[in-house]
Amino acid sequence: MKFASLGSGSEGNSLLVSPAAAEQQRRIVMLDCGFSVKEAERRLARLEVLPGEVAGIIVTHEHGDHIRGVFKFARRYDTPVWLSYGTYQAARADSDGVDVRFCRDDEPFQIAGLTVHPYTVPHDAREPLQYCISSERCKLGVLTDVGHKTERILSALAACDALVLEWNHDSDMLANSSYPYSLKQRIAGPHGHLSNAVAEEILREVDRSRLKLVIAAHLSQQNNRAELVEQRMAHVLQGELIAAEIACQHQGFGWKML
Ligand SMILES: [Zn+2]
Ligand SMILES: [Zn+2]
């Protein structure tokens, strides 16, 4: 299995996952498309993927940085879209002509030979889901846009070979930022985004028995710094043979083989 990112952060998110030796033409699972179709096409080309190779799009929730290009892309390339019923209710106005399929917490389904396993998270959206994607041999866990740590999150992400994990903000930088009070409250609240401290707790507590790679994602460009995240990841992973990287807004990250 391999995976890559088109970009990660509040200006747009999209992740690609593919079975490593896939023969079929449609061999890519796209997780969110928070970019315009034109921008998504440009970023796909950077990773040498044709839009027609996307077998399905799975959507986490209705916020623009995750859903912006989803339905237009799906219409243009005849791509089915999986999402929760709540996310569909929030975003259905744009979904005409799209092959929409519903998914829910703890009901796995298959796309392009991969098993997609949705799980519920606390975030200020109608029915947000995050996903683990696995092949026979390995498991990728994805977690962004989540306000606090839950037992459900820790159990869903147990024994992954790779994790893409939100490290949104440093709590002091957010508190001292020029953001309006209400926005600070929203981001730091129980249905907002993960602080570095809570992301560190999740990484510390999750079952890392198979983990080889962790990628920090959805970093705030205003309220976080890569060095702070790197320090915290290194603190948890010291003495373990686990690689750590940071996904960026503009480049995402290139293909990682599992
Ligand atoms: Zn987001
Ligand atoms: Zn969100």
Environment of ion ligand 2 (residues, CB < 5 A): 63, 145
| Cα distance between residue 239 and residue 142, in whole Å | 24
Q: What percent of the chain has pLDDT over 70?
A: 100
Tens-digit pLDDT profile for residues 72-98 = 999 999 999 999 999 999 999 999 999
Confidence of residue 226 (pLDDT cuts 50, 70, 90): very high
Helices (H) and strands (E) in the chain, counts: 9, 14
Q: Which ligand approaches the C-alpha of residue 66 most closely?
A: 1
For residue 13, the model assigns a pLDDT of 98
| Cα distance between residue 63 and residue 13, in whole Å | 10
User: Could you please report the per-residue DSSP string of 184-203?
Assistant: HHHHHSTTS--BHHHHHHHH
Query: How many angstroms does the Cα of residue 24 sit away from the middle of ligand 1?
Result: 31
For residue 25, the model assigns a pLDDT of 84
Query: How many angstroms does the Cα of residue 239 sit away from the middle of ligand 2?
Result: 34
Confidence of residue 21 (pLDDT cuts 50, 70, 90): confident
Whole-prediction pTM value? Answer: 0.97
For residue 139, the model assigns a pLDDT of 98
pLDDT at 137 over 80: yes
**Total of domains in the chain:** 1
Beta-bridge mates of residue 57: 30, 81
CATH number at residue 38: 3.60.15.10
Query: How many angstroms does the Cα of residue 69 sit away from the middle of ligand 1?
Result: 14
Averaged pLDDT score across all residues of the chain? 97
Structure tokens at 113: 């030979």
Query: How many angstroms does the Cα of residue 13 sit away from the middle of ligand 2?
Result: 10
Q: Which ligand approaches the C-alpha of residue 168 most closely?
A: 1
For residue 23, the model assigns a pLDDT of 74
- Between strands 253-257 and 2-7, the pairing is antiparallel
Query: How many angstroms does the Cα of residue 67 sit away from the middle of ligand 1?
Result: 9
For residue 24, the model assigns a pLDDT of 78
pLDDT at 140 over 90: yes
Confidence of residue 118 (pLDDT cuts 50, 70, 90): very high
Q: Which SS3 state, helix, strand or coil, does residue 165 take?
A: strand
Mean pLDDT of 169-196: 97
Tens-digit pLDDT profile for residues 104-116 = 999 999 999 999 9
For residue 20, the model assigns a pLDDT of 81
Query: How many angstroms does the Cα of residue 238 sit away from the middle of ligand 2?
Result: 31
Residue 117 domain boundaries: 2-257
